[in-house]
Amino acid sequence: RWAYVNGRYLPHAQATVHVEDRGFQFADGVYEVVTILDGRFADLDGHMERLGRSLAELRMDWPAAPRVVERILRELARRNGLVNGSIYLQITRGVAPRDFKFPANAKPTLVMTAKRVAAFAKPEQLEQGVAVITVPDIRWGRRDIKTVGLLAPVLAKQQAAESGAYEAWLVDSDGTVTEGSSSNAWIVTGAGTLVTRPPSHAILNGITRLSLLRLAAERGIPVEERPFTVEEALSAREAFVSSAGTFALPVTRIDGRPVGDGKPGAVTMALRQAYLDYAK
């Protein structure tokens, strides 16, 4: 297994960064997770574009030209023989003595790791759907930036796991669902309308989300980008989550109560297939 650190491909166990890396001390960095499906990167352009946006929002420089970063990504996948899996890519503001303000001349740190995936979903997750719990969204005000500051999602996901759930849906102070701890949240209403929250500072605008919206539109599925409450989700016909690697995954229980008839929905499964067909 190979990783990449600042210009070098290294065995995973030897891939290290300095203790004064600002990612380590301040979570002063951004990341992307890109899926490889049957040997092809899914939505790579979208992920690269969002990476550029995250960097710009934090006034960070690209460690190398985007096309060079993309070449490294492809090379790391090749060296790992990845057919199905993902690449994790992280850029931090670099190594400097600890001081909150931007360092004068630190060079950004670029690291990438590769992961093989045997199956993107377990058969029972597709047959029965997954459970989610709801927890208050205690994250900061710029969730649109894909930063490595992930403590609130870590706590939420741990709580989900301890409750036997797959994901935690984060709920804003007004009672609406923002998104999952590492996914976007969707419902399908009784009338068959697909509903997901519009992009804003309140959520990460998922690349999978954007592709699913386009695929839904192409199939004539009505879409409303608006917030929804936990109560509306419980009375919806279907619910699902989306992210790189989960694509669209049916949610059939929220806080232990069934969604719709408690089975994965037809629209969800059709969108999942549409995404796989598109990305492969």
CB of 49 to ligand PDD, least distance (A): 11
3-state SS, the chain, equals CEEEECCEEEEHHHCCCCCCEHHHHHCCEEEEEEEEECCEECCHHHHHHHHHHHHHHCCCCCCCCHHHHHHHHHHHHHHCCCCCEEEEEEEECCECCCCCCCCCCCCCEEEEEEEECCCCCCHHHHHHCEEEEEEECCCCCCCCCCECCCHHHHHHHHHHHHCCCCEEEEECCCCEEEEECCCEEEEECCCCCEEECCCCCCCCCCHHHHHHHHHHHHCCCCEEECCCEHHHHHCCCEEEEEECCCEEEEEEEECCEECCCCCCCHHHHHHHHHHHHHHC
- Catalytic residue at 146? yes
Closer residue to ligand PDD in complex, CB, 196/252:
196
CB of 151 to ligand PDD, least distance (A): 13
Closer residue to ligand PDD in complex, CB, 2/186:
186
CB of 190 to ligand PDD, least distance (A): 26
Amino acid code (one letter) for 69: V
Closer residue to ligand PDD in complex, CB, 129/180:
180
CB of 84 to ligand PDD, least distance (A): 15
CA angle 83, 121, 165 (to 5 degrees): 140
Please identify which of the residues 146, 157, 263, 280 carries the catalytic annotation. Answer: 146
Closer residue to ligand PDD in complex, CB, 10/150:
150
CB of 67 to ligand PDD, least distance (A): 20
Closer residue to ligand PDD in complex, CB, 66/190:
66
Residues that bind ligand PDD (CB under 6 A): 33, 179, 182-184, 204, 206-209, 242-244
Q: What amino acid positions are annotated as catalytic residues?
A: 146
